[in-house]
Amino acid sequence: MTKKILLSFPQSATGKPMAMELIKTYNLDFNILKASIDDNVKGTLLLEIMGEETDINAGIVFLRQNQIGVMEIQSVVEVNKEDCVDCGACTAACMVNALEMDENWELIHHQDKCLECMHCVKACPTRAIHALI
């Protein structure tokens, strides 16, 4: 099984060997997709984590017990439907059709197709599309 998780590290949790624990104790593999960690300040880490479902869930419990915020996500790109005016500018920037207009001319975000290139974030005139990290 594979999950994409966004970790938020408070100051108290930076500098601790959390990745080693996930590998050794919970038998998990992971790819670091994006990271921004400032030792002794705070950090965010986007991981694609792979392993047995029970091991992944146990690893997530471990992280939360160590004051690390864990959010399961499909994509780091988020569309705020309240701010979106369905203009379609983002669809022209999206080369993998993760953003498209439906038959009613409303924007649809296919999170599973998103490559997180962030071109849509730059293309959105109302700033309704933003990155979580």
Cβ burial, residue 54 (10 Å; 0-12/13-18/19+): exposed
Q: Residue 46: beta bridge partners? A: 6, 34
**pLDDT over 90 at 126, yes or no:** yes
**pLDDT over 90 at 97, yes or no:** yes
Do 44 and 68 have their domain in common? yes
The pLDDT score that the predictor gives to residue 94 is 94
Do 56 and 81 have their domain in common? no
The pLDDT score that the predictor gives to residue 83 is 96
Domain of residue 59, residue span: 2-73
**pLDDT over 80 at 129, yes or no:** yes
Q: Residue 7: beta bridge partners? A: 45, 70
The pLDDT score that the predictor gives to residue 12 is 77
The pLDDT score that the predictor gives to residue 89 is 96
If you average pLDDT over residues 89-103, what whole number do you get?
95
Do 52 and 105 have their domain in common? no
Q: Amino acid identity of 102?
A: D
CB 68 within 8 A of CB 15: no
